[in-house]
Amino acid sequence: MDVITGFDRLEKHYLASESRPKVGYLCLRVSPEYIEACGADALRIAPRPGYDLSAFTPIRPDGCSFCRSVPAILETDVYRNLNAIIAGTCCDQMRRLMDTLNDLLDIPVILFGAPRTWNADPDYFRGEMIDAFGKIEEITGNAATETELLERIRVHNNLKNSVNHLRRQEKLPTALLQRISCSILPPEEILSFLSNSRDLPAIPAEIRLLLAGSIPGVWELDVIESNGSRVVADATCLGDRVFHRLTSEKGDPVQQLYQTYVEDNLCPHRRPVTSTIDYLKNLMDERQIDGVVYRSVKYCHPWGLLAERMKKELEAPLLIVDDDLTSPAVENFRTRVGAFTEMLKMKLRRRA
Amino acid sequence: MTEPRQIDFRQWHRLFQQVPDRLVEEIRYYRHLPQAEWSQYLFPPSTHVVYGNRLLRKLKFDNSQAALRLWGFVMSEGERIYRARQAGMKVIAVMGDLGAVTPLVYSFPNIVAFYPDCLWWTPFLMESRELFDEAGQLGLGEDCCFVRASLGAFSRKAYFPKPDLCVGTVGATCDDMATVMSEAEQLGVDIHYFELPHRHDGDTDKTALSGYLENQYQELCRRLEQATGETFSPDRFRETVQKVNRMRSLIAEIKDLSGAPAASPMGAVEMMNMEFAALSYYGDLDECLAVLTEFRDLMKFRANSGQGYQNQDLRLVWVTPPADPLLMNYIEELGGRVVGSEYLIHQTTPIIDTKKDPFEALAEAHLKATLMGSSAYRVNLVIEQVERTHADGVIISGVFGSSHCPYETAPIISALRQKGIPVLSFDVVAPGKRRLQSQIFNRMEAFSESLKARKKRRAG
């Protein structure tokens, strides 16, 4: 049994047995620690196998294709029986998606304001975050105590450390990384799974790629890695970026969570966007990247409209592809990635 | 006074012979500067065609001098900003807030503000894709709203002078302009970011939100002080805000008059130009007031005397400003008249309280912004316009690829249909796409036919 199948089984088993309230969250501005401290399981909303590509959505076809898919994604088994959905305001489309979900669903849809700029007045935005989680506390009937928050921060930091360590050693495949980032499994369970899987050999990679861009769908990674290349760095919304920032275990835990998830959030919707670009550059240096697959979902403004700038800034071979999560062009994607990988291979051979 | 009607640019060219020279010399901007020929702006539309605004050859214009003055004032804005720079005034580019922060900018002496966002209609006016192509080269293609034209303008350096300061509002507003800002930074433009937090309509702590915005305004004020070398003066601010309030009242009054029961007293494009004066006053607050006052007087006269255009009986509310003004003319030819609008600029409508602390007053007014809150807020603004004007139907001219249209359109349509209000929704197409344009015309024709039939049925 491969590691991915093992992980999926574990998650399925947990889902079948779980009894705590389940809170879905969108994007990286929400702290799963806080949700867990409120006595709920935190479940990242992300594309899952089997969502209905042709499901009705009230969002027009020129809306972000991830946002358009979310109503259908929420129909998949994993997201059944959610007790609430929470998100921070990130890009404009995500903010408006919450409006759409509010109209469509019968569960509380909770949105909190989060700053677009850096070092914005923390008092206001922290208040927004606290108010939003206050609503989660009301739903679960469980107030997040300081002790519980600190405990959840500690456990999540352990998970982040472990993930980062394995990623640097190239013993954690990106497919598993993406599974972990949207898993409902508590970090303790994931840590235990990872420690039992430590005997995994380092993954050989002829071509070392950085995958950057919007939230991945369910098939892109397989297609990219089926060409003799490996995604050794993943800067998508489900990749290394989820784990890179540890939360300080000192001081007020709410403030520290605010700092990690709201203030230090590295998404290209932030202005100026230079910190995000710097993060990508560092990741490329650290993982010795040969090329970048820059994949944005159709009509994703933060990633999609930044593609040309990234091409200039990252100064590496870069393939720009866009992908519609509601109408995937798999073969087109395969051809383009295949050609890109071939080009990189030839380049490496010439150098050798 | 002549009978109100809509005429083309050739007819205006002939009619313009009757305008006395004395009047042409009198009507000028920047009256605080010594009188110079360059500051005159009362010209027939054919003059602006010569400057590259080819679409004017196809548009219909109101035949009044007041409307011509408004057109001249609007079309000379670009030139005016360059003149301001030549005259030593500070030039501030404001982006993304659409009219909220300009009262503060104009409260500094010797300053002028403009919105690069508003260059979104330049490719339509010029019937040229040049700015779009330029933006495309920089990464903003057709999956971005028409405001991408402003990036082309930043890059070409030929549409406005280099600003002394760029103020960019980001956050709870459209993302397309935020992308333009990011790319403009790449071109070396220094931007002061103004953070606009999300407004939870219904249960927001308005005091906290207002407090946050106050701080943003104070910070902006400091940046303006640095850029201008002048100290903020509360007295000067009050004086400016009084003028801004007068303008906002004038615009509200004119909007009310446009729904006159007898006949349409003014063209939809002129009305849109008038409404957009609230953004940056087209670069001259005092002259803008004079232009709108004359415009209001004309509208009042026409409304009170029952004068207006013939055969425009379908009362319509227009939602989202069309970058292509020809569409408005077209619906007018089909018997429509625009009696109400929701152009995403609700933040320019509140009267700013001059008795309050300046920053508190600005923040309070800003809280009315269209895009800052939920889609439901905008839906209510549209419904309010429909009910106030007793509209027969609504036209939504969306923008393909913008960050808000794909989400708001469905709830607006749904709310209107629940109220039994017919609605036509389409996306404006970029210049040069004639077949797509004809599809829109066909749909407009069908819509107007169905509205006419509905009216007949209702009248028995």
DSSP letters spanning A237-294:
TTSGGGTSPPPP-SS-HHHHHIIIIIIS---TTSBS-HHHHHHHHHHHHHHT-SEEEE
Q: Is residue B184 part of a domain?
A: yes
In this structure, chain B runs to a length of 460
Torsion of CA A171, A184, A57, B437, to 10 degrees: -30
Give the span between the Cα atoms of B277 and B379, in whole angstroms. Answer: 24
- pLDDT for residue A227: 83
Q: How far is A324 from chain B (nearest CA, A)?
A: 13
C-alpha distances (whole Å) from B328 to each of B65, B346, B390 are 21, 21, 19
CATH number for region A205-351? 3.40.50.11900
- Measured in degrees and rounded to the nearest 5, phi and psi for residue A169 equal -80, -5
Interface mutation vs chain B, best among A57, A214, A271, A300, most B CBs within 10 Å: A271
Say whether B403 and A89 touch across the interface (CB within 8 A): no
**Rg of the Cα trace of chain B?**
21
Q: Which of chain A's residues have a Cβ under 8 Å away from the Cβ of B211?
A: 124
Which chain B residues in 386-415 lie under 8 Å from chain A, judged by CB atoms? 398, 400-411
Domain boundary assignment for chain A: 3-146, 205-351
Length of chain A: 352
- Give dist(CA B164, CA B81) in Å, integer: 12
The strands making up A84-88's β-sheet, listed across from edge to edge, are A41-44, A22-26, A84-88, A109-112
- Cβ of A124 within 8 Å of Cβ of B209? The answer is yes
| Facing B193 at nearest CB: one of A67, A117, A308 | A117
- Bridge partners of residue A110, in order along the sequence: A86
pLDDT for position A199 = 63
Distance of CA B80 to the CA centre of its chain: 17
Confirm if A202 and A171 have CB atoms less than 8 A apart.
Answer: yes
- What whole-number distance in Å separates Cα of residue B126 and Cα of residue B43? 18
Name the residue of chain A whose CA is nearest to B139's CA: A308
Provide, as residue numbers in chain A, all residues whose Cβ is less than 8 Å from the Cβ of B427.
62
Residue A193 is predicted with a pLDDT of: 95
B145, part of any domain: yes
**Which residues of chain B does A111 touch, with a Cβ-Cβ cutoff of 8 Å?**
198, 200
Domains of chain B: total: 1
Residues with pLDDT less than 70, chain B? 1, 203-204
Question: Could you read off the pLDDT of A210-231 as tens digits, one per residue?
Answer: 999 999 999 999 999 998 899 9
Facing A92 at nearest CB: one of B138, B175, B409:
B175
**Sheet of A229-234, strands arranged across:** A229-234, A207-213, A291-297, A318-323
| pLDDT tens for each residue of B58-85 | 999 999 999 999 999 999 999 999 999 9
Asked if residues A73 and B158 have their Cβ atoms less than 8 Å apart, the reply is: no
Separation CA B331–CA B233 (nearest Å): 47
Q: Note whether A99 contacts B375, CB cutoff 8 Å.
A: yes
Indicate yes or no: CB of B408 within 8 angstroms of CB of A58: no
Residue of B nearest to A121 (CA): B212
Closest CA to B309 of B251, B255, B268: B268
Same CATH topology for A3-146 and A205-351?
yes
**Contact status, residue A44 vs residue A89, Cβ threshold 8 Å:** no
Position B1 in a domain = no
C-alpha B377: how far from its chain's center? 20
Residues A117, B170: C-beta atoms closer than 8 Å = yes
User: Which residues on chain A place their C-beta less than 8 Å from a C-beta of chain B?
Assistant: 58-63, 67, 89, 91-93, 95-97, 99-100, 103, 111, 113, 115-117, 120-121, 124-125, 127-128, 131, 269, 271-273, 298-299, 301-302, 304-309, 312
Low-confidence ranges of chain A (pLDDT < 70): 1, 198-202
Cβ burial, residue B15 (10 Å; 0-12/13-18/19+): middle
CA distance A76 to chain B (A): 23
Closest CA to A244 of A181, A201, A202: A181
B219 contacts chain A (CB < 8 A): no
CATH 3.40.640.10 fits A3-146, yes or no: no
Which residue has tokens 């302009």? B177
How many whole angstroms separate alpha carbon A144 and alpha carbon A349? 56
Task: Provide the mean pLDDT of chain A.
Answer: 94
Q: What pLDDT was estimated at residue A228?
A: 85
* Helix-helix angle B206-228:B358-366, to 10 degrees: 120
Strands A84-88, A109-112: parallel, antiparallel or unpaired by DSSP? Answer: parallel
Residues of A in contact with B140 (CB under 8 A): 305
- Scanning the structure block, which residue is given the tokens 């005259």? B87
The distance of Cα B60 from the centroid of its chain, to the nearest Å, equals: 18
| Distance separating alpha carbons of residues B117 and B371, to the nearest angstrom | 15
**Quick check: is B219 in a domain?**
yes
Q: Give, as one character, the DSSP assignment of residue A203.
A: P
CA atoms B362, B367, B372, B378: torsion sign: negative
- Give the 3-state secondary structure of chain B: CCCCCEECHHHHHHHHHHCCHHHHHHCECCCCCCCCHHHECCCCHHHHHHCCCHHHHCCCEECCHHHHHHHHHHHCHHHHHHHHHHCCCEEEEEECCCCCCHHHHCCCCCEEEECHHHHHHHHHHCCCCHHHHHHHHCCCCCCCCHHHHHHHHHHHCCCCCCCCEEEEEEECCCHHHHHHHHHHHHCCCCEEEEEECCCCCCCCCHHHHHHHHHHHHHHHHHHHHHHHCCCCCHHHHHHHHHHHHHHHHHHHHHHHHCCCCCCECCCHHHHHHHHCHHHHHHHCHHHHHHHHHHHHHHHHHHHHCCCCECCCCEEEEEECCCCCCHHHHHHHHCCEEEEEEECCCHHHCCCCCCCCCHHHHHHHHHCCCCCCCCHHHHHHHHHHHHHHHCCCEEEEEECCCCCCHHHHHHHHHHHHHHCCCCEEEEECCCCCCHHHHHHHHHHHHHHHHHHHHHHHHHHC
The pLDDT score that the predictor gives to residue A178 is 97
pLDDT at B203: 65
Q: Give the Cα separation of A192 and A17 in Å (integer).
A: 18
The reported pLDDT for the residue numbered A55 is: 87
Of the residues A95, A297, A306, the best mutation for testing chain B's interface (the one with the most B CB atoms within 10 Å of its CB) is A95
**B99: closest CA among B347, B289, B365?**
B347
Long-range contacts of B35-40 (CB under 8 A, 24+ apart): B38/B79, B38/B83, B39/B83
Q: Give the residue numbers spanning the domain of B20.
A: 6-459
